[in-house]
Structure 1
């Protein structure tokens, strides 16, 4: 199956945004996001899949996110990204995954595929049904890299990701050592503090049937 990974920073109540922007400004946490989504074996590249609003929230000077294949999902087939490859416009998540699977032989192979927002895309991805077998090419989310914002509560958030633990059974929090093994580098352990905000780097895996941690 095509395995997808969600990566997100969210409060205890799953708040992820306010007025179309992040409610916090955490350079070290953003550096973690950049390293995780960029880190791939030599000769490979990761992909970041996002909705149009998330794409537009990235400052133009940083678009596309470098060293990653950028895929933007929009129902407007005439939407202009105003950038060159490796950036692609697709109508939905399934088409996005198919496009990444059908890259030309001359393209760098894709290693990991990350869903980076926004809220509706997180919901669509998490709701994808489990494929009938590991050999299926149907996309399925089996991992969430969650930066849990512990305090303050950021009650002004007006955009939320789904409560994946309660809505979709089978999720369990992985050990910190497993997080480091999967991302391929050391990750600060325990509660971190930056600019008066405390947070923790977590990884959640979906133990659903034969979808197990041994496969990455």
Structure 2
């Protein structure tokens, strides 16, 4: 298994964004994302891997995401980022690093003994690649093992112009999924894996700001 975990919020029709942003505001989901991608044992740190557009969608005052390694993918080697913290001993953990592709980023991050977990946080191209839907074949080491999905039940936000591949219905998506199949974990398994002692993950459908949503975890078979 690869050890890659996807974190995403998606509607029932798999909408994940509109005009480069999420069209909903769910504070509890934002808090869950922050805590689950940050929590690591003493002496360890998590890494969040994202495409350039996802990096740019984060408000400047919040990037790089604090207390996490930020790995940003771009084929433009001149894209302006902060100093490469992977090459600087004892650099602050909030610095961002630029990588030309996912394979390079994963290889570099996995080579570090202080990295605890690797999270894929967007955008759609990166989700497709790690779910096995990319038209360019990926190695098994780039397939995600786990999906932390905040499922938006209502409303459906039909204005979404970016979608998550329908990983639960390969035939309907029509692009293939590299033979990957998934099962939903129990709520108890979700709580145990995240180990968020300072955050209550509610079970079942919740409602906030008029939005009905549910925290789910899916595991690759």
CA distance in 2, matches of 1:81, 1:25: 27
CA distance in 2, matches of 1:2, 1:173: 18
Match of 1:120 among 105, 125, 143: 125
CA positional deviation for 1:3: 1.1
- Relative to structure 1, is the Cα distance of residues 78 and 129 closer, same or farther in structure 2, using a 3 angstrom cutoff? closer
Match of 1:144 among 126, 138, 147: 147
Is contact 1:64-1:83 (8 Å) kept?
Answer: no
CA positional deviation for 1:187: 1.1
User: How do 1:1-216 and structure 2 match up within 5 A?
Assistant: 1-82=1-82, 85=85, 86-103=95-112, 109-127=114-132, 131=140, 138-167=141-170, 168=177, 169-185=180-196, 186-207=200-221
Cα displacement string for residues 28-83 of structure 1 (whole angstroms, at most 9, x for unaligned residues): 11000000000111111010000000000001111100010000001111101146
CA distance in 2, matches of 1:26, 1:2: 30
TM-score using structure 1 length: 0.86
Is contact 2:82-2:97 (8 Å) kept?
Answer: no
TM-score using structure 2 length: 0.85
Is contact 2:11-2:153 (8 Å) kept?
Answer: yes
CA positional deviation for 1:170: 1.7
- What count of residue pairs does the alignment treat as equivalent? 197
| Long gaps (5+) in structure 1 | 132-137, 208-216
Counterpart for residue 134 of structure 1: none
Counterpart for residue 212 of structure 1: none
CA positional deviation for 1:2: 3.3
CA positional deviation for 1:164: 0.9
Is contact 1:115-1:122 (8 Å) kept?
Answer: yes
CA positional deviation for 1:116: 0.2
